[in-house]
Amino acid sequence: MMSLYFLSILVSSVLGLGLAIPSNTCIVMGNLDIIRKKGKLSPTDVIFLAKGIVNLLLQCVMSLQGMFLVFSQEIFYIRLVFVFINTSGYFLTYYNFWLTFWLSAHYCTTITNLSYGFFIWIKRIVSNFLSHLLFLTSLGVFIVSVPGFWIVYEKSPLQSSKNSTGASVIGFRKLFSYFVPANSLGVILPFCLSLLCLVLTSSFLLRHVWRVKNNDSGSTRPNLQAHVTALRTIFFLLLIFTFFCMSRLLLFLQNSSLLRVSLVLQLLSPSVEAAIIFQASNKLRRIILRSFWRKCRRNTET
C-alpha cells in the first residue's frame, strides 16, 4: 500500500498539472490573442506571457519528477535523466524569479516616477527593449545554472549502494560549492531587487494616498486602483517567491511532514502564480470570460 508521503506527492503532482496547465495555457493564449488583434503587447503582458510559458514547463518538470519519485525511483539512477530533470528545474526556477524582478521593476519605474538617472534608465530599457532584456536574462540564467550544474552532476556520483560514502561526500561538496554562487545569482539577487522595488512602490503609494485624500479635485483618484493592483501583484509574487524558497530549504530537514508540505508548496506554486496574474490583468480576464461565453453559446445552440 502506498504511504501517506508518496500519496501526497502523487496527489499534488496530478493536482498541480490539472490546475497549472489550463490556467497558464489561458495566459499564453490570451496574450497571443492580444498580439493577433493589436499587433504588440504592453511590457506587463510580455512578462505575463513569459511567466505563463515558464510556469507551464516548470509544472511539467516538477510533476514528472514527483511521479517518477512515486512510481519509478530507479529512473533517477539513469544519469542523463537525473541531470536533465534537475538542471531544467533550476533553470526554469531561476528564470521565473528574474521575471518577477523585471515585473516589479516595471511597476516601480512606472508608478514612482523617480527622477534619479538609474531609474530613468531602467524605465527606458524596460519600455523599449523588454523582449531583448528577457532574452538576455534567460541566456544569463542558462549560463549560470545549466552548464555548471550539468558538469557537477556529471562528475558527481549518484547516491546508490554501488557508490562509496567517500565519493558521495566529495560529489556533494562539489555540488554545494557551485550551488551557493548559482543560488546567489538566481535566487538571492532577484529577491533583494524585487523587495527593493516593493518598498519603493509601497512608499510612493502611501504618499500618493495622502495626496489623494488632501486633494479636493480628485484628479489623481482614477490612477489609485492601478497602483494598488500593481503593489498587490508584486507582494503576492514575492510571497510565492518566499514560500517556494522556504519549501526548498525544508527538503534538507529529515521530517516527513515538512517534506510533504514543501513538495505541495512547490508543485502548486505555478497555479498560484497564474491566479495572481489573472487578478493583475483585466485584459486577460475579459478575454477568458469572452471565450468562455462563446463556448457556452455554441454548446447551447448545438
- Residue 266 is placed in which grid cell? 512547490
**For the chain, how are helix, strand and coil distributed in percent, rounded to 5?**
90, 0, 10
- Residue 44 is placed in which grid cell? 506587463
Determine the residue type at 47. Answer: I
The domain spanning residue 193 has which CATH number?
A: 1.20.1070.10
User: What residues contact residue 179 under an 8 Å CB cut-off, 6+ apart?
Assistant: none
Task: Give the largest Cα separation in the chain, rounded.
Answer: 77
- Residue 112 is placed in which grid cell? 514612482
3-state secondary structure of 183: helix
pLDDT in tens, the chain (302 residues): 567 777 878 888 888 899 999 999 999 998 888 888 887 888 899 999 999 999 999 999 999 988 888 888 888 777 788 888 888 888 999 999 999 999 998 888 888 876 666 777 777 887 788 889 999 999 999 988 877 666 666 655 455 444 444 444 444 555 666 677 788 888 899 999 999 989 988 888 888 777 767 765 554 454 677 788 888 999 999 998 888 887 777 666 666 666 677 777 888 899 999 999 998 888 888 888 877 777 767 766 66
- The burial class, CB within 10 Å (0-12 / 13-18 / 19+), for 292 is exposed
How many domains in the chain? 1
User: What residues contact residue 101 under an 8 Å CB cut-off, 6+ apart?
Assistant: 190, 193, 194, 197
Alpha carbon distance 204, 141 (integer Å):
31
Tell me which DSSP letter residue 186 carries: I
Determine the residue type at 75. Answer: I
Global pTM value = 0.85
* Helices assigned H by DSSP within the chain: 4-38, 43-71, 79-112, 117-128, 130-155, 165-183, 189-213, 224-250, 256-280, 282-301
3-state secondary structure of 284: helix
Domain of residue 40, residue span: 4-301
- Residue 5 is placed in which grid cell? 508521503
